[in-house]
Amino acid sequence: MKQDRCLQVLVALAGCMCWMVAVHAQPQMETGAQQSMPPEWIDQDTHHKIVRLSRLEGNNASFYFHNNPFVGNRMVFYNTGKEGKQIWTVDLASLKLETITNFPGNKNGEIVAPRSGNIYYQIADTVFRTNIHTKKTERIFVFPADYRASITTVNADETRLAGSKASDEQKEILKQYPEKSQYFNRIYDAKLLNELFTIDIKKGELKKIHHENTWLGHVQFSPSDPNLLMFCHEGPWQKVDRIWHYNLQTGAVQLMHKRTVENEIAGHEFFGPDGKTIWFDLQIPRSVTFYLAGTDVRTGKETRYSMERNEWSIHFNASPDQKLFCGDGGDPGQVAKAPDGMWLYLFRPQGDQLVSEKLVNMKHHNYKLEPNVHFSPDGKWIIFRANFEGTGEVYAVEIKKS
């Protein structure tokens, strides 16, 4: 009996020591309260663990919210350091960092083909492809001198790239008025010619597929249908029916959400992981009533989940199993005018509402850098970017509480 009791005490002490080591390794801290945070910590306000993924010198940037950055368990991101802007990967399990490119040139385009591991990007007028497994780099396409444009997406079977081209007059407005507050209405009011195009990857052929005298943007291929291309009518959201898709087989163009009242807005659209739904921020009217809404691509049926003002986020995203959503919050200067919206959120649908859980206190983050949230491939972490350490860094917050 004495031996059993001693054994129980030893086990309890060992467990206590392990717990103390764990607490020491992951201190509870106010996120961003100091310029240099440890590699891992527990947010004292939310009790969720945060891990810095980008353990490199310089500025680091994860992908825009609707661009897939994952190949298996590796995440692609950009580092801007001594060698210029280069592409790296981080293994989300081991945190091993690996450089994918190491040659000069400002690399643009956040385009990953998850099955092959190919990354597509552009340097000036030339499109390249680098494979993360072999590191082999190939030149895919060179834009002609009279057609300077940018790629933004690759289709589901990796046969085509796509993007939009603005007129020279529109580019000149951007050059003269670099701040969004200066150029946004000017470009919309100008009603200049914009085009959508595709590039046949195998043949290296450019094809102009659609044009309008309006500002086109947010060009995204469906993750499942290689012939479905989504785009938006850019401009003040309360003035545009924004969300559209184009069928490459038929040439048909379809509006995905029609505004119904004055000052209604819909935007920051993205495909669900299976490509069956287009999700978007919906406000009826602007800055008053808030929803995360989704339109079924096949039937046009719309789903709406309501939320509170403080829960509104600049960007939303869906989990791999499509049972959860996340959002990156926003400061009081954003459209929601939220007094307490500077949080990263996890959302659970409950009836026609979203029930939120706060994951990260973002009060020390400057929202001029948008966090752009992604679920990890296993659905256990939310990945985001932030500047509360003074430079742009990439982090992951664990959904399970520590």
Sorted by where each starts, the structural domains of the chain and their CATH numbers stand as: 41-57+272-402 (2.130.10.10), 69-137 (no CATH), 143-222+224-255 (2.120.10.30)
Contact 69, 90 (CB under 8 A): no
Between CA 88 and CA 81 the distance in angstroms is 12
Number of Cβ atoms within 10 Å of the Cβ of 301: 10
pLDDT of residue 4: 52
DSSP H or E run through 375: strand 374-375
Q: Which residues pair with 385 in a beta bridge?
A: 394
- In this predicted structure, the answer to whether residue 378 has a pLDDT above a threshold of 70 is yes
pLDDT grade for 1, boundaries at 50, 70 and 90: very low
99 falls in which pLDDT band (50, 70, 90)? very high
232-252 burial: b if 16+ Cβ within 10 Å, else e: bbbbebbebebbbbbebeeee
To which H or E segment does residue 302 belong? strand 302-307
- Are 121 and 111 in contact by the 8 Å Cβ rule? The answer is yes
pLDDT digits (tens, 9 = 90+) for 48-97: 999 999 999 999 999 999 999 999 999 999 999 888 899 999 999 999 99
Residue 38 identity (one-letter amino acid): P
DSSP tag of 273 = T
Query: Does 138 have pLDDT greater than 60?
Result: yes
Are 72 and 377 in contact, with CB atoms under 8 Å apart? yes
Global pTM?
0.92
Q: Are 60 and 392 in contact (CB under 8 A)?
A: yes
In this predicted model, what pLDDT tens digit does every residue of 315-337 receive, in sequence order?
999 999 999 999 999 999 999 99
CA-to-CA distance for 311 and 305, rounded, in angstroms?
Answer: 12
Place of tokens 């050059």: 175
Question: Is residue 339 within 8 Å of residue 330, measured between CB atoms?
Answer: no
The residue-averaged pLDDT of 174-203 equals 95
The structure tokens listed for 36 are: 């240099």
Q: Say whether pLDDT at 307 is over 70.
A: yes
